């Protein structure tokens, strides 16, 4: 039981990190697009 809980936590942490990276990437490309439109 404890093992599966640890696995779940690890998986969630990995997913969260993945999500943050995706958001960062999206933000960067959005800023790039916005920059191209404004200047």
- Ranges of each domain in the chain: 1-39
Query: What would the pLDDT profile of 1-39 be if each residue is shown by its tens digit?
Result: 678 889 999 999 999 999 999 999 999 998 888 887 765
Q: What is the pLDDT of residue 20?
A: 98
How far apart CA 3 and CA 7 sit, in angstroms, is: 6
How far apart CA 26 and CA 37 sit, in angstroms, is: 16
Query: If you count them, how many residues does the chain have?
Result: 39
């Amino acid at each position: 039981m404890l093992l599966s809980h640890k696995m779940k936590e690890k998986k969630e942490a990995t997913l969260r990190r993945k999500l943050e990276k995706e958001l960062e990437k999206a933000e960067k490309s959005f800023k790039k697009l916005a920059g191209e439109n404004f200047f």
